[in-house]
Chain A
Amino acid sequence: MKIIAVYSSKGGVGKTATAVNLAHVAVREGGRVLLCDLDPQGAASFYYRIKPKKSFNRSLLLRGRFEDHIRATDYAGLDLLPAHFSFRNLDIALRDEKRSKKRKILADLLDPLAAEYDYAVLDCPPNLTVLSEHIVTAADRVVTPVIPTTLSLLALDQLLKLLKKIECQRGKVLAFFSMVERRKSMHVQLMKTYGGYPMFLKTFVPFMAEIEKMGITRQPVGAGGQQSVAFKAYHLLWQEIKQRGAA
């Protein structure tokens, strides 16, 4: 099982839309996918219309007793571990865990599911904490959406610093431009400046109303079977991620 973390310390860059749609694309290709909603806001769970069971919480997750809380989505092959409100303090709980030193708790938790799924896609909360360290350690690839703006690039820089600090391979980072508006000259300029770096994927995802409307439709783009523009963008993005060692 490959672990693909969709991560950025900055909020509003399109992490959840990316995780939700990449998971859906992977399943449409025949993969078996577990989407883990680690963000206490639970947006990925909301998009898939899944609520956690009442008995679920952070400590159950950390004790590895979360299999019973995985729920099927409406799409065959795609399961989801829903977010819980208690996940808001996941980083504090991780820091207090004795086994936290090696930053392998998340990897160890997902390991028993390796035979069940081809991919675990992690929708990560926007922060830069102990949880982030565990996420990037566990992930085979860290997919990070970058809006072509200064602050978003700053978040990428912080991610690279984090990797350096915890001695993780920089090569596992795959950045792509997200919510691109080509009419904005700054977007065009920054993409030109940074797009050539090897860590940047060639595919970018434009800003699209269709993606925003996922909040209303509560389903991934293209779920209706239509080959939408947004679906095609995520499809291309997934192909490139796979080519870069995630398959």
Chain B
Amino acid sequence: MERLRQAVLACSADMAPPALLELLKGHGDIEETRRDTGPVVVYDTFDWRLYRRKTLALGSATALNLFSFAGEPLGSLAAPGGKRMFWWDAPASAPRDLLKEVIDVRALLPMNRLHREIRSFRVLNEDRKTVVRLALRSDVPTAATGADLDLSTMVVITELRGYQSAYEKLVRHCAEVGLTELDSSRWLADRVYARAARTPLDYGDKFRVDLDCRIGATQAIAAIGLHLLAEMETNRAGVYDDIDTEFLHDFRIAIRRTRSMLGLLKKQIPARQGTHFRKEFKWIGGVTGPLRDTDVYLLEKRVYLDMLPDGLRSGLDGFFQELEQRRLKELKLVRRYLSSRRFANLLNDWREFLGGEDSELFAASLKKPCRRLADRIIRKRFNSFLRGGAAITDTSPDSELHRLRIEGKKLRYLFEFFRSLYDEKILDQFIKQMKKVQDNLGEFNDLSVQEHLLSARLAGLSGKGRATVRQAAALGGLITVLAARRRRLRADFAALYGAFSAAENVELIKQLTQSPCQQAEEPSSA
């Protein structure tokens, strides 16, 4: 069946709702059916996961309502209240499933606050049958200062099936009295984020730093380093406030990328500072690791329980309770480290090193253009990855696979740092091929780490009670399942690596590093 139409029109600033209604009354019998007024909070995850899916979550006093950008309702959930909400806080329902799929482990946070008034009307025919619906809507963003900012009233006209002409007549009439039609595909998104403190999509897209091919390597290091520093600072508060686990995850990824950059571009960085920053970033990466580990196990709780038969599941209760307690302790420690003088100094010194006018970074004698440097390091790392992969046989120890994973990660980071210099089509084609091997190695590593922790836990169990026996049985069951999965991954590796190391991919790297620099060409062609 044909989709029903909706027109969204904005009143001119001098047209108040009463005057507008007077104008519309000439059109037919109009009856007010409802008036909703009250505060509305617009929610999204810190990295705009709902917005990326063209979905809006608007919380009122009683419910959290999901809408498309065009204002179509997508479901409603009981409002949990509070400053944040996870999908698991909502009662089981289709909208909760939608939230689960989109926001995953992230919390919904208030992104904007509005005072909303919606007056709903119906236009009646001679039988007093509704033939078209319209709503007058005003949304007033409540700024952080407490001052109200006014936005003009909007008219939303909704077609009813079988009454096309009444709809068209009313839209025409509105245009005639001076209302202007808006983009109906995203009017609600534009409306609820008008004058919000944050701009949608200001965080969380793919890692990308736009570099100019003509700049020197040290300037590229500064640009990439500052970008990563900003990510650390952005996520720091979320880690401290323990909003959701992804803040720490993103924080640690920024640290890991920074450490990788310091290692990969070691020769471009003054030795003394390079050593100092590598040591300090290793420190903050290390001290935040245990908290992340407990997060991972707790997030995997459902997966672990599903691995076990019903009878063994209760054995994990104690294990997870201890993890929860350990997490609290680790969080306390991480908070202390994040507030420490040492960490503050690290960030300040790093910022100064990357951006300070008299930084030794820029005094270095090497002024090689960043693209040439990137080409060289990418080729070197790729060859190293190929050598490492070729050396792995069915009898190689697991540690060889872990080492290869690290090599692959470094190569991947290089692609991310210098993405803007290359033909992105070739780059993405290569990354797609490489991802298959990386996923295998990554999962293999995760399983090894998990097995190791569970085995350590099992070895540390003491006591003879039933609870201990149950926990031992559950841990044993988990270790068995994980080990079987790990063996399957190991068996798959040879075929995956064989496909990756084929001549086509070697050729892709050649093409990539020989392709013209993307940005250097632009000025000459302009």
Contact = CB atoms under 8 A, between A and B. Distances in A.
Interface stretch (B157-165, B278-286, B375-383, B499-507): B157-165
A140 interface: no
B162 A70 contact: yes
B219 to A, nearest CB: 57
A231 B160 CA distance: 26
A218 B126 CA distance: 14
A53 B163 CA distance: 10
A67 interface: yes
A113 B1 contact: yes
Contacts of A70: 1, 161-162
Interface string A42-59: 000000111101000000
B241 to A, nearest CB: 37
Interface in B118-158: 122, 127-130
Contacts of A53: 162
Contacts of A72: 130, 160-163
Interface in A69-126: 69-72, 74, 79, 113, 116
A116 B162 CA distance: 15
B162 A49 contact: no
Interface string B158-200: 0011110000000000000000000000000000000000000
Contacts of A68: 162
Interface string A25-61: 0000000000000000000000011110100000000
Contact of B163 (A48, A67, A71, A113): A71
Contacts of B129: 48-50, 74
Nearest to B160: A72
A134 to B, nearest CB: 23
Contacts of B161: 70-72, 79
A116 B1 contact: yes
Central interface residue in B2, B122, B160, by most chain A CB within 10 Å: B160
Majority-rule SS of A interface residues? loop
A70 B1 CA distance: 10
A63 to B, nearest CB: 16
Interface string B80-121: 000000000000000000000000000000000000000000
Nearest to A74: B130
Interface residues of B, number: 11
Given A113-B1, A116-B1, A71 B127 contact: no
Contacts of B1: 67, 70, 113, 116
A68 B162 CA distance: 7
A51 B125 CA distance: 11
B127 A49 contact: yes
Central interface residue in A51, A67, A69, A74, by most chain B CB within 10 Å: A74
A113 B127 CA distance: 28
Given A67-B1, A70-B1, A51 B163 contact: no
Contacts of A79: 161-162
Contacts of A50: 129, 162
A71 B160 CA distance: 7
A74 B162 contact: no
Central interface residue in B122, B127, B129, by most chain A CB within 10 Å: B129
A81 to B, nearest CB: 10
A114 to B, nearest CB: 11
Contact of B122 (A69, A71, A74, A116): A74
Contacts of B163: 71-72
B128 A71 contact: no
Contacts of A67: 1-2
B484 to A, nearest CB: 42
A66 B130 CA distance: 21
Contacts of B160: 71-72
A15 B162 CA distance: 25
A12 to B, nearest CB: 25
A201 B161 CA distance: 35
A121 B161 CA distance: 18
A146 B426 CA distance: 74
A113 B163 CA distance: 19
B93 to A, nearest CB: 11
B96 to A, nearest CB: 15
A71 B163 CA distance: 7
A69 B130 contact: no
Nearest to A69: B162
A151 to B, nearest CB: 35
A218 B124 CA distance: 14
A218 B129 CA distance: 10
A53 B130 CA distance: 15
Interface string A154-171: 000000000000000000
A35 to B, nearest CB: 13
Nearest to A48: B129
A125 to B, nearest CB: 22
B118 to A, nearest CB: 15
A53 B127 CA distance: 14
Contacts of A51: 127
A158 to B, nearest CB: 35
Contacts of B122: 74
A113 B1 CA distance: 8
A71 B162 contact: yes
B176 to A, nearest CB: 25
Nearest to B132: A72
A68 B161 CA distance: 8
Contacts of B2: 67
A69 B164 CA distance: 11
Nearest to B162: A71
Contacts of B128: 49
A71 B409 CA distance: 59
A49 B128 CA distance: 8
22 contacts: A48-B129, A49-B127, A49-B128, A49-B129, A50-B129, A51-B127, A53-B162, A67-B2, A68-B162, A69-B162, A70-B1, A71-B161, A71-B162, A71-B163, A72-B130, A72-B162, A72-B163, A74-B129, A74-B130, A79-B161, A79-B162, A218-B127
Interface of B: 1-2, 122, 127-130, 160-163
Interface of A: 48-51, 53, 67-72, 74, 79, 113, 116, 218
Given A53-B162, A218-B127, 19 more contacts: A49-B127, A49-B128, A49-B129, A50-B129, A50-B162, A67-B1, A67-B2, A69-B162, A70-B1, A70-B161, A70-B162, A71-B161, A71-B163, A72-B160, A72-B161, A72-B163, A74-B122, A79-B161, A113-B1
Give the top 3 A-B pairs by smallest Cβ distance, nearest first.
A71-B162, A49-B129, A72-B160
